[in-house]
Amino acid sequence: MARRIELFVFLFLLGTWNPFISASEVNDYREKYADFQKRYEAEILRLMEWAQEQGLEEDAKETRSLNHTAANEDQFYFGILPQEVQNPDLVQSDDSNAKKSGKTGKSEKKKSSKKEERTVSPHEEWLRRYTRLRLQASNQLFRLAQAAVRDGRCALGFDFLMRALEENPDHLAARTILGYELVENHWLSPFEKKQARTMVFHPRFGWILPKNVERYEAGERLYKGKWITEKQDAAAHFNIENGWTVETPHFTIVTNHSLPAAVKIGEEVEVLYRVWKQMFLRYFATDEQIQALFAGRSFQASGGPRGTGTNGKHRLLFFRNQENYVEFLSPRYPQVKGSRGIYIMEDRTSYFFAGKEFDRATMLHEVTHQLFAELAPLAARRSFELVESPNFWMIEGIATYMESLHDEGNCHVVGGFETPRLLAARVRFVKNDFYVPLEEFSAMNTARFQTHPQMVRLYSQASGLMQFLLHSSGGQYRDGVTDVLRDIYTGKATPDSIPNRLGKSFSELDTEYRTYISRNKEELEKWELD
């Protein structure tokens, strides 16, 4: 139960959605956040100075660490929450419950006897103040998140929710919204709760019975009810048709490489899934469904799992090497010979292989395609319909954007000016003067895009434009981007979907993109691309 659990926002929205969020409206909430942060930092400073006066240098240092450095607005940060409850007293969601937690406020101080107050050490008093400070900050941020989403500022509301959980990972209301429940002092997802009833999670072998752990670690394997050697197990799973199968909350992983490889791949794609859900929560549920979630009622979103794995999960095959991958797929799909991985919509399956040619970015790219295709609100979507859709660049733009997903210790990060894709987009725009006007770019379907004589440059432009739309102007276009992607995958896209959904003309967006992508262009002097 000591495993980390990633912050997984199932859904987060209340009230009537406002399709066009202006920069001024976004800035209004950012000003509210800035005001909160200013007051919070003042309280931090006061507590830090008090601790120093008491000679509590380590406590003063810990207090100072609360100063929240402004995040890079060119990246998204997805906090990794601990699975184990950090402080049972803080499993609550508002200030009224804080009074029940034993973290005393002024009214409780009055109830304490002088004798009791004298028994409290300086460190204990610091801990009480420190805990209450963070608890109050968490509650204020959560209320700011609620206000933002009531006004239709879904993306901003999500940002504030992230901050609230940073201050109190055990915030009950926030954890409930994320889809977790408290089980024996641990926050578990439904899948984990079910598995934990009879099994334990092993980092190499996945979910297994506790009584089998020792034998697995000793090199034995359970196959069809009998214990065999690791070598015999490998022979039994030599062909992909008989490969090891590992179930995760949202994927069925099949491999003929090894059981640990399937477990590792499963953990990688689950991180992508959770980050994807957090970013595109408007993609797969209606306002009514989201309101039901906030009212404590469960529902099945219209974009529920429709893969071909167990229980409709997303299916992924991971071959032991590239030769095996090509041999299996090339009779039906000759184009795979030069690929490092592929999602095939007709199969509802992603295919990858182990070895030095394995490319993690390709896996993130292709599984992103899989998530958009298989979680689209319309179940009857077909690949040939998608091929004819305008705005094809957005399909590739968001997949290349998600290639940047990486772990920075306490959080997952995606996006940023330092990614290879965005660097290519900037160099080609600034130094090569390459740019297809957005109106022309958005009119392209799959064939026009992928047969273009400068297709490589188009891919870098798609990456740059997606970074711009998700991060510029305080994130005012983030919800609109989700709506355009939903239009594409449900067959409703038109060449004008972008201006219609974002509330800006093509020419206005072209101008804003030029300013955004050209920032700090002196950094590009040393780079050259064809």
Q: 211-220, pLDDT tens digit by residue? A: 999 999 999 9
Token output for 367: 């599984």
Q: Answer yes or no: are the C-beta atoms of 478 and 155 closer than 8 Å.
A: yes
CA distances from 412 to 81, 297, 402 (A): 11, 29, 12
pLDDT at 382 > cutoff 70: no
Domain boundaries, the chain: 4-189, 199-380, 382-530
Q: Among 105-119, 164-178, 256-270, which range has the highest average pLDDT?
A: 256-270
Q: 319-375, pLDDT tens digit by residue? A: 999 999 999 999 999 999 999 999 999 999 999 999 999 999 999 999 999 999 999
39-48, 154-163, 175-184, 411-420: which range is least confident on average? 154-163
Q: What percent of the chain has pLDDT over 70?
A: 83
Q: Answer yes or no: are the C-beta atoms of 37 and 222 closer than 8 Å.
A: no
Q: What is the pLDDT averaged over residues 14-26?
A: 42
Strand, helix or coil for residue 199: coil
Distinct helix (H) and strand (E) counts, the chain = 24, 15
Pairing of strands 406-407, 206-208: unpaired
- CATH number of the domain located at residue range(s) 199-380 in this protein: 3.30.2010.30
Measured in whole angstroms, the distance separating CA 163 from the mean position of its chain's CA atoms is: 15
Strand, helix or coil for residue 384: helix
What gap in Å lies between CA 158 and CA 80, rounded to an integer? 15
What gap in Å lies between CA 425 and CA 460, rounded to an integer? 5
More confident residue, 409 or 185: 185
Confidence of residue 473 (pLDDT cuts 50, 70, 90): confident
Among the listed residues 450, 314, 339, the one whose alpha carbon sits nearest the alpha carbon of residue 395? 450
Q: Please, which residues have CB within 8 angstroms of residue 395's CB and are 6 or more apart in sequence?
A: 369, 372, 386, 485, 488
pLDDT score, position 5 = 38
Sign of the four-CA dihedral 320, 322, 328, 329: positive
Sequential DSSP letters for 138-164: HHHHHHHHHHHHHTT-HHHHHHHHHHH
CA angle in degrees (0–180, nearest 5) for 383-440-488: 30
More confident residue, 14 or 283: 283
- In the chain, what are the helix, strand and coil shares in percent, each to the nearest 5? 55, 10, 35
pLDDT score, position 410 = 81
pLDDT at 523 > cutoff 50: yes
CA angle in degrees (0–180, nearest 5) for 224-228-229: 145
Q: Answer yes or no: are the C-beta atoms of 514 and 508 closer than 8 Å.
A: no
Q: Answer yes or no: are the C-beta atoms of 319 and 257 closer than 8 Å.
A: yes
Provide the CB-side half-sphere exposure for 44 (13 A, CA).
18
Among the listed residues 189, 159, 161, the one whose alpha carbon sits nearest the alpha carbon of residue 93? 161
pLDDT score, position 108 = 42
58-72, 86-100, 181-195, 285-299: which range is least confident on average? 285-299
Q: Answer yes or no: are the C-beta atoms of 313 and 247 closer than 8 Å.
A: yes
Q: Among 84-93, 275-284, 336-345, which range has the highest average pLDDT?
A: 336-345
Element (H, E) at 206: strand 206-208
What gap in Å lies between CA 22 and CA 474, rounded to an integer? 10
pLDDT score, position 105 = 37
What gap in Å lies between CA 203 and CA 332, rounded to an integer? 35
Token output for 224: 């069809």
| 315: β partners | 252, 349
Sign of the four-CA dihedral 371, 377, 378, 384: negative
pLDDT at 114 > cutoff 90: no
Amino acid at 183: V
Q: Answer yes or no: are the C-beta atoms of 269 and 248 closer than 8 Å.
A: yes
Sign of the four-CA dihedral 381, 387, 392, 396: positive
pLDDT at 297 > cutoff 70: no
Q: Answer yes or no: are the C-beta atoms of 132 and 105 closer than 8 Å.
A: yes
3-state secondary structure 413-466: EECCCCCHHHHHHHHHHHCCCCCCCHHHHHCCCHHHHHCCCCHHHHHHHHHHHH
pLDDT score, position 387 = 80
59-73, 108-122, 297-311: which range is least confident on average? 108-122
pLDDT at 112 > cutoff 70: no
